[in-house]
């Protein structure tokens, strides 16, 4: 009888513990990566992509194109520690064909990822795009925010991609993928361009939060500005956790200590965080069905994606090109990821 009682007690304990574990949060991973000039080798007559052809100034080829796809996969897989991301945001890719090539030519295709993409009006033809795992992400709608510049009606830049989706815990998530105007032409002179992109994005996030103050919003991308710059602080109104008032967007990247990471991009020897994650305030509440925090943010400064900085000190991203010279690396940016807990 004593033996039976012990077995029964152990079985009941197992059932109770199993129930507790069944209620544990599920992990959900979002990765963003500026993949640095991921072009195919075809000349598109509607864009200025001639340099990325076999006859162009970069002597781009189909072999290099497919090598580039393989490196994008390896970078994301290694950084994600071989855990399949649920959402992968990408920028500086040429077209939908480049995304389809990722799924055909790399093991990404084994995961049945689906594509979210639309051709933007950028004069070079570079776009943002998104891959999602249909087992954990069920799209509700997709939208592409056009950025228009006052006083420059003919100027064009990348769209801001907005995916609204139902997650596997049955809650809704808004994801925005950005690639704001660069500092080409001067850092100061181009401040208004990034401010315009920030306001275009804020207009949409404000409308979402007006309808539902507890909406789950994840904003990611290459902003070509740091968390301290006015485009993010004043125009998007995304602040570090220590500074944000109730209801304001939280810049998780701006909350990371410089002692933890150097940055995501290095220019003339200086690191900066221009690839970021920003979230709505509800997502930082432990009782929220979709939860995250600063500790769940990671920067891809893994050895494979870095190389010695021969001109300056330390290391730098192992990039595809140095100027117009093919260098054979991964990207001039490091990837970033954010883990969510679904409850």
pLDDT tens sequence across 125-152? 999 999 999 999 999 999 999 999 998 8
Question: Does residue 12 carry a pLDDT above 50?
Answer: no
Q: Mean per-residue pLDDT for 78-82? A: 94
53 vs 60: CA distance, rounded Å: 5
Q: What is the pLDDT of residue 258?
A: 64
Q: Mean per-residue pLDDT for 95-113? A: 96
Out of 119-123, 255-259, 322-326, pick the least confident: 255-259
Tokens read off for 287? 């009782």
Tens of pLDDT, residue by residue over 30-44, are 999 999 999 999 999
**Higher per-residue pLDDT: 16 or 312:** 312
% of the chain exceeding 70 in pLDDT: 92
Do residues 162 and 176 make contact, with C-beta atoms less than 8 angstroms apart? yes
CA angle 48, 276, 98 (to 5 degrees): 35
Residue 269 neighbours by CB under 8 Å, 6+ apart: 309, 311, 312, 313
Instruction: Give me the residue label for tokens 């804020």.
Output: 202
Question: Does residue 21 carry a pLDDT above 50?
Answer: no
What confidence tier does 13 reach under pLDDT thresholds 50, 70, 90?
very low
36 vs 332: CA distance, rounded Å: 6
Q: Indicate the helix (H) or strand (E) that contains 195.
A: helix 191-211
Out of 181-195, 252-266, 286-300, pick the least confident: 252-266
164 vs 139: CA distance, rounded Å: 6
Q: What is the pLDDT of residue 24?
A: 67
Out of 40-54, 227-241, 279-293, pick the least confident: 40-54
Checking DSSP bridges between strand 127-132 and strand 325-326, what pairing results, if any? Answer: unpaired
Phi-psi region of 34 (alpha: psi -120 to 50; beta: other; left: phi over 0): beta
Q: Is 33 helix (H, G, I), strand (E, B) or coil?
A: strand
Q: What is the pLDDT of residue 6?
A: 34
Q: Mean per-residue pLDDT for 194-206? A: 98
Q: What is the pLDDT of residue 257?
A: 67
Question: Does residue 18 carry a pLDDT above 80?
Answer: no
Question: Does residue 16 carry a pLDDT above 80?
Answer: no
**Higher per-residue pLDDT: 9 or 311:** 311
Phi-psi region of 258 (alpha: psi -120 to 50; beta: other; left: phi over 0): alpha
CATH architecture classification, 24-333: 4-Layer Sandwich (3.60)
Q: What is the pLDDT of residue 153?
A: 86
Tokens read off for 214? 């507890």
Q: What is the pLDDT of residue 247?
A: 87
Do residues 230 and 195 make contact, with C-beta atoms less than 8 angstroms apart? yes
Q: Pick the closest to residue 125 from 201, 199, 219, 53 (CA basis).
A: 53
Q: What is the pLDDT of residue 126?
A: 95
């Amino acid at each position: 009888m004593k033996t039976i009682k012990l077995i029964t007690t152990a079985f009941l304990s197992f059932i109770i513990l199993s129930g507790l574990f069944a209620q544990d949060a599920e992990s959900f991973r979002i990765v963003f990566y500026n993949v640095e000039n991921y072009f195919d080798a075809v000349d598109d007559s509607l864009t200025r992509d001639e340099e990325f052809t076999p006859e162009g100034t970069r002597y781009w080829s189909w072999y290099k194109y497919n090598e580039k796809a393989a490196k994008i996969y390896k970078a994301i897989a290694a950084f994600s520690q071989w855990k399949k991301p649920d959402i992968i945001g990408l920028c500086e890719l040429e077209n939908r064909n480049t995304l389809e090539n990722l799924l055909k030519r790399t093991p990404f295709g084994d995961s049945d990822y689906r594509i979210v993409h639309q051709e933007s009006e950028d004069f070079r033809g570079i776009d943002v795009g998104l891959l999602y795992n249909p087992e954990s992400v069920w799209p509700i709608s997709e939208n592409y925010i056009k950025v228009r510049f006052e006083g420059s009606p003919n100027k064009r830049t990348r769209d801001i991609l907005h995916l609204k989706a139902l997650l596997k815990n049955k809650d809704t998530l808004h994801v925005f993928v950005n690639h704001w105007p660069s500092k080409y032409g001067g850092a100061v002179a181009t401040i208004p361009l990034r401010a315009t992109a920030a306001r275009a994005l804020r207009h949409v996030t404000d409308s979402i939060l007006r309808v539902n103050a507890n909406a789950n919003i994840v904003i990611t991308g290459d902003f070509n500005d740091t968390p301290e710059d006015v485009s993010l602080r004043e125009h998007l109104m995304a602040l570090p956790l220590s500074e944000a008032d109730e209801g304001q967007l939280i810049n998780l990247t701006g909350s990371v200590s410089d002692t933890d990471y150097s940055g995501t991009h290095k220019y003339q020897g200086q690191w900066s965080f221009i690839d970021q994650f920003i979230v709505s305030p509800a997502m930082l509440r432990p009782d929220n069905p979709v939860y995250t925090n600063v500790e769940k943010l990671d920067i891809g400064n893994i050895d494979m994606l870095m190389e010695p900085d021969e001109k300056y000190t330390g290391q730098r991203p192992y990039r595809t090109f140095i100027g117009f010279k093919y260098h054979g690396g991964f990207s001039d940016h490091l990837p970033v990821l954010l883990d969510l807990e679904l409850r």
